[in-house]
Structures are given as structure tokens and as C-alpha cells.
Structure 1
């Protein structure tokens, strides 16, 4: 398995570190207590509480490993280098040329992408299309329904 670089903002780094800390300190103990309680019920061959707790334990341990690997390979973008062109960490105002809709997006690494909060990955179709382009540029993004054209209206740190 390759150790792919994980690009994070300072906010994204803190969020992953907090999740890792919560899993290691709180969630591990909770699951261990659930396993111990399930074992007290006796026969584990048909004990659904035990099976559920062991499955949750496996998920938590897997997530801990994933987070530790991500943090080891993290490259933090502490500040956008300028606002002449779209870069990782930038806030970008895009206008849908065909529908005249405007929306602000944050360009982040894939590890902290969250479309519900307008954080789009630099690896997403829109993220790839706008990266490196200056204000005023119209970019085309291929989507399943066809092609969408966006104009870059503003770039902020």
C-alpha cells in the first residue's frame, strides 16, 4: 500500500487529531466495557451483544489505524500563497454561467472534503477544473448530465 500524501488545512488537521484522541481514549474504553458486560452474560456463541461490541471494536481499531496513517502522511496548508489563482485552501466564488447561480466553495484536500459545508476536494471534478486558474476564467466541468460551465468570480485566502 502506498503512503499517499494527505493535504489538510490547519482546521482539518485539528479535526482529525481530535477524532483520533476521542477514539483512543473514550471509544476504546466504552467498547471494552461493552465486551466485558457481554462476556458476563455467559455463552458467547449466540451472544449478539458480544458480536456487536466486537464488530464495533474492529471498526474503531481500523479507523485509528487509518487516522494515524493519514496524520503521518499529512501536509498542512497553513496559508494560501496568494489570490491571483485558485489554490488549495482558497475560498472561491463560482458562478454557474448557464443558470446564473453563485456559490462559495473551499478547496481542500480529499480527506476533509464535505460537500454539505461547501468544502470540495482538489481531486473532485470542480476542484480539478478551477485549480490554477485566475479570477474571471470560465472552466468547463464534465458531469453525468453533460457539461457545466463555471466562471471564477472571486478568490480569497
Structure 2
């Protein structure tokens, strides 16, 4: 059966879209998501609605590329607004430092050293804030899960595709404004 809403079947047990996402987020991350939601709702959606209305007034919609493109874009923006609205309702903002800042918890900047002496600094953030360029990883990631609760100079072993990788925690820091 063919149709525009048909997708290929995915095993729910293996589908990454079905994985449980943590509901934790930093205060800055929450403000950023809220800002995106407001921009889409108050600026982008009305502008696209106007464009669709103007394109529809030109006549035949079946051959009107401007109408088709803007209608698809409007539907995409509406879906994003709906998703962000639901997600913002279920998020829990973490706006204070943990009681024990000598251990790794949510929001920590952690410097790790591998067996070759290479260092990398990562930050543990919520699922919605991950950024590979900044090296911000999700609290749900295997590396973050392995580090949670550990202190300085403790070993962290992570099961990687190439085999187990071991790191040593060399520094733990927190951003007081996060």
C-alpha cells in the first residue's frame, strides 16, 4: 500500500526515536528552546501563513510552486511548534549546582585523559542541548552514564565500537550561571 504517510516499518525495540529521553535541561538551554518556540509561533508561522494566502490567491494551486513550497514549510513549522510545546512542558530545569561539586553530575565540565595522554573536555547536558562542536554530550550517552558520580583521578571505562576505552578524570568544573 502506497501513500504519503507510509514509512518503512521499524522494530520499536531498536528504533532510536523510541528511546527514553531524560527530562533534564540547563536554565540556558531552556531559555534557548523557549526563545525558538516563541520565534516560530509569533514570527515565522504568521509570515508563512501570509505567504501561503498570497500564493493561493494567484489561482491554480496545483502548478503553483510558491504555494506548494510555503505550505510544506508552514506544516513543518507547525509540527516543530507542537513538538517544542510538548517538550517544554515536560522538561525539568536544573538551575543550581550539586551539593558535592567534586563529583561528576549533570552540567559538569569534565576533562578526560586517555591512555595516549590526549585530553578532551566535555560537558554533560540534557538531550535537547547536545552539540558535538562544543563537545556537549547528553546525560543519556554511555560516556556520561559511566562518569556520573565519579570523582577526580577515577577511571571511566566506556564500551566503544572499537572495544572498551578507559579514561581518567583529570578535572571537574561547573558553570555557576548555568
Q: TM-score, normalised by structure 2?
A: 0.81
Q: Pick the structure with more helix per residue.
A: 1
Q: Equivalent residue for 1:146?
A: 163
Q: Equivalent residue for 2:104?
A: 86
* Equivalent-residue separation in structure 2 for 1:114 and 1:13 (angstroms): 15
Q: TM-score, normalised by structure 1?
A: 0.91
- In the TM superposition, residue 129 of structure 1 has moved relative to its aligned partner by 1.2
- In the TM superposition, residue 20 of structure 1 has moved relative to its aligned partner by 0.5
Q: Equivalent residue for 2:84?
A: 67
- In the TM superposition, residue 114 of structure 1 has moved relative to its aligned partner by 1.0
1:99 alignment partner, SS class: coil
Q: Equivalent residue for 1:24?
A: 41
**Structure 2 residue aligned with 1:130, among 147, 150, 156?**
147
Contact in 1 for aligned 2:124/2:137 (Cα 8 Å) = yes
* Structure 2 gap ranges (5+): 1-17
* Equivalent-residue separation in structure 1 for 2:95 and 2:31 (angstroms): 12
1:14 aligns with 2:34: no
Q: Equivalent residue for 2:15?
A: none
Q: Equivalent residue for 2:3?
A: none
- In the TM superposition, residue 4 of structure 1 has moved relative to its aligned partner by 6.1
- In the TM superposition, residue 58 of structure 1 has moved relative to its aligned partner by 1.1
Q: Report how many aligned residue pairs link the two structures.
A: 155
Contact in 2 for aligned 1:12/1:112 (Cα 8 Å) = yes
* Structure 1 gap ranges (5+): none
Tell me the alpha carbon deviations over residues 65-121 of structure 1, each in whole angstroms, 9 at most, x when there is no partner: 11111111111111221322110011111112x221111111111111111111111
Q: Pick the structure with more strand per residue.
A: 1
2:133 alignment partner, SS class: helix
